[in-house]
Amino acid sequence: MALIEFEHVFKRYPGSSNAAVDDLNLHIEAGEFLTLLGPSGSGKTSTLMLLAGFEAPSEGAIRLDGKSIESLPPHQRNMGVVFQSYSLFPHMTVAENVAFPLSVRKVSKTVIAEKVTAALAKVHLENFTHRKPNQLSGGQQQRVALARALVFEPRLVLMDEPLSALDKKLREEMQLEIRRLHRELGVTMVFVTHDQSEAMTLSDRVAVFNQGRIEQLASPQALYDAPANPFVANFLGDNNMLNCTLAHGGTGSVKTATGQTLQARICATTALNSDATLKLCVRPEFLQVGTDCAALATPNCLNGTLVDLIHQGDHWRVVARLSTLESGPHSAALQWFAKVSPGALPAGLVVGQNVSLGFRPEDAWVF
């Protein structure tokens, strides 16, 4: 039995014609790190608030250890919550902030002191007990919020975009800190973010949300390597897309608007209709760049014109406008880009010259 079960859960807010959470079915296993990933308004935070008890479902069942918790108030669910704004009490010291969940549970002062010391040690803030929140950096405040969520030893820790206010370096440091705590404590964590990098770094599994529904639920690697549809492919990682149709003579063959045939992997959920417009997707790191198709020796090759060449440290970003497709009012869609290591970049490339982009059939998905 899963630790948490959502079954046919809906959440509708007054005045909105669409459900914020739309027929959600989700099981969360004990000890796992699950990330709810998606754009703003996709339903991920509403799902977290339903689990925490700050919102009630319009329909459906939410169970903890097989027991219904829809009517259970937040303080009786044994879940720690870390908010985006940290929500620390400014007039309290670090120790008092961390002690607060224990104080409201009427825990003895001796036990509180022991647990606060242990919780602050877990986040490496044992020497900051007497400071106020305004005397801490953003990263330190986030650690206090984490310690407060962990101090009463909850069954789950729920985090709603807790790192969004931090700069890039601090955010990456806190990702590693949260990852370490999860591994050491073994507590179940549910994490909400719109940042794909956070989801890839932290998660055992990722649920990709869109318009109140889960588009795909899988490990980060499975989502990246085998996306279920164009939304997932485009939201998780960089991607190049191209409209195509199914070619006659094979389920792995598609053709472009000008009739060029390409080989790719057909997604299992794709309806194989010869008249339907499909999308071919290729990750930029899977593209090889050359001065002509013959030099690449890949089964698939698209010709184009070099638009830009950008050095980004560990790779070059090669931007090309494809010439093998019909131009039209949506010509921006004809622009693809590749990520190429410095050693694999052809010498002497200049903007405006002809280039070729090659890729293997196993590196291209069709939806």
Average pLDDT over residues 144-155: 92
Whether the pLDDT of residue 337 is over 60: the answer is yes
Average pLDDT over residues 348-352: 91
pLDDT above 70: percentage of residues in the chain: 94
Instruction: Kindly report, as residue ranges, where domains of CATH 3.40.50.300 are found in the chain.
Output: 4-231
Whether the pLDDT of residue 91 is over 70: the answer is yes
What pLDDT, on a 0 to 100 scale, did the predictor assign at position 287? 96
Interatomic CA distance for residues 181 and 31, integer angstroms:
12
Average pLDDT value for the chain: 90
Phi first, then psi: give them for residue 336, nearest 5 degrees.
-115, 160
Q: Say if residues 362 and 263 touch (Cβ distance below 8 Å).
A: no
Strand order in the sheet with 188-193: 79-82, 156-160, 188-193, 33-37, 205-210, 213-218
CATH of 238-366, one of 2.40.50.100, 3.40.50.10490, 2.160.10.10, 1.10.150.80: 2.40.50.100
pLDDT band of 166, cuts 50, 70, 90: confident
Contacts of 166 (CB under 8 A, 6+ apart): 138, 139, 142, 174
Coil, helix or strand at residue 180: helix
Average pLDDT over residues 125-150: 91
Instruction: Kindly report, as residue ranges, where domains of CATH 2.40.50.100 are found in the chain.
Output: 238-366
What pLDDT, on a 0 to 100 scale, did the predictor assign at position 272? 63
Average pLDDT over residues 59-68: 96
pLDDT band of 274, cuts 50, 70, 90: low
What pLDDT, on a 0 to 100 scale, did the predictor assign at position 308? 95
Whether the pLDDT of residue 61 is over 50: the answer is yes
- Tell me 86's DSSP state: -
Phi first, then psi: give them for residue 332, nearest 5 degrees.
-60, -25
pLDDT band of 269, cuts 50, 70, 90: low
Average pLDDT over residues 217-233: 92
pLDDT band of 273, cuts 50, 70, 90: low
Whether the pLDDT of residue 305 is over 80: the answer is yes
The architecture in CATH of the region 4-231 reads 3-Layer(aba) Sandwich (3.40)
What pLDDT, on a 0 to 100 scale, did the predictor assign at position 170? 84
What pLDDT, on a 0 to 100 scale, did the predictor assign at position 332? 46
Average pLDDT over residues 272-284: 81
Q: What is the pTM of this model?
A: 0.88
Q: Say if residues 361 and 282 touch (Cβ distance below 8 Å).
A: no
Six-digit token pair at 254?
A: 């598609």
The winner for highest mean pLDDT among 102-106, 215-219, 247-251 is 215-219
Handedness of CA 53, 58, 63, 66 (dihedral sign): positive
What pLDDT, on a 0 to 100 scale, did the predictor assign at position 98? 94
